[in-house]
């Protein structure tokens, strides 16, 4: 876990609470996306669902986390890029890989997002790319 989560939250102008510190720590320690069910499991009974949902909303508004594209209504989230580099793990524009066997999704930080040529007069604001396939763990287990 990173040393001072409370200081980071204050820098982002977020009121520091035990739930916010615990949730940010969970994202920092997890290497992929977390859904509400996983978040509840990690945090245990310490915080009710409403507190978790409100905290997720605050983190989304402050761009601390980002949703995995195409997962509505059961959204999953991961850390977003942050200008300070703390706790930044991923850049703003990146692709995702989802395993078709186990469902694991990871950010593909080092794979550039392909440029998109739009018709004249169109302005793109977001690009969401999900590559689907079979992860290395499932390939080893299932003999692909």
CATH code (residue 38): 1.10.10.10
Which pLDDT belongs to residue 125?
A: 79
Same domain, yes or no: 2 and 72: yes
Which pLDDT belongs to residue 73?
A: 60
Same domain, yes or no: 66 and 104: no
Query: How many domains would you assign to the chain?
Result: 2
Same domain, yes or no: 1 and 42: yes
Residue 46 has pLDDT above 80, yes or no: yes
pLDDT digits (tens, 9 = 90+) for 97-140: 888 988 788 878 778 788 889 999 999 877 778 889 999 989 98
Same domain, yes or no: 76 and 107: no
Residue 81 has pLDDT above 80, yes or no: no
More confident residue, 90 or 71: 71
Same domain, yes or no: 19 and 82: yes
List 76's β-bridge partners, or say none: 35
Residue 62 has pLDDT above 70, yes or no: yes
Mean predicted lDDT score pLDDT of the chain: 82
Please state the pTM of the whole predicted model.
Answer: 0.67
Residue 9 has pLDDT above 60, yes or no: yes
In angstroms, the CA 19 to CA 55 distance is 7
Q: Tell me the residue range of the domain where 83 lies.
A: 1-90
Same domain, yes or no: 99 and 144: yes
Same domain, yes or no: 73 and 118: no
Same domain, yes or no: 100 and 86: no
Same domain, yes or no: 99 and 79: no
Same domain, yes or no: 9 and 45: yes
Q: How confident is the model at residue 74 (pLDDT cuts 50, 70, 90)?
A: low
The mean pLDDT value for 53-75 works out to 83
CATH of the domain at 109: 3.30.1490.190
Same domain, yes or no: 16 and 33: yes
Residue 87 has pLDDT above 70, yes or no: no
Which pLDDT belongs to residue 113?
A: 80
């Amino acid at each position: 876990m990173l040393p001072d989560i409370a200081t980071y939250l204050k820098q982002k102008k977020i009121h520091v609470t035990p739930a916010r510190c615990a949730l940010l720590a969970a994202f920092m320690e997890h290497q992929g996306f977390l859904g509400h069910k996983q978040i509840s499991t990690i945090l245990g009974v310490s915080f009710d669902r409403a507190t978790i949902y409100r905290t997720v909303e605050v983190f989304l508004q402050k761009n601390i986390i980002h949703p995995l594209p195409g997962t509505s209504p059961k959204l999953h989230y991961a850390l977003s890029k942050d200008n300070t580099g703390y706790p930044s793990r991923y850049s703003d524009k990146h692709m995702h890989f989802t395993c078709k066997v186990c469902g694991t999704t990871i950010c593909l930080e080092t794979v550039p997002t392909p440029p998109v040529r739009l018709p004249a007069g169109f302005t793109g604001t977001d690009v969401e790319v999900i590559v689907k396939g079979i992860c290395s763990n499932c390939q080893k287990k299932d003999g692909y």
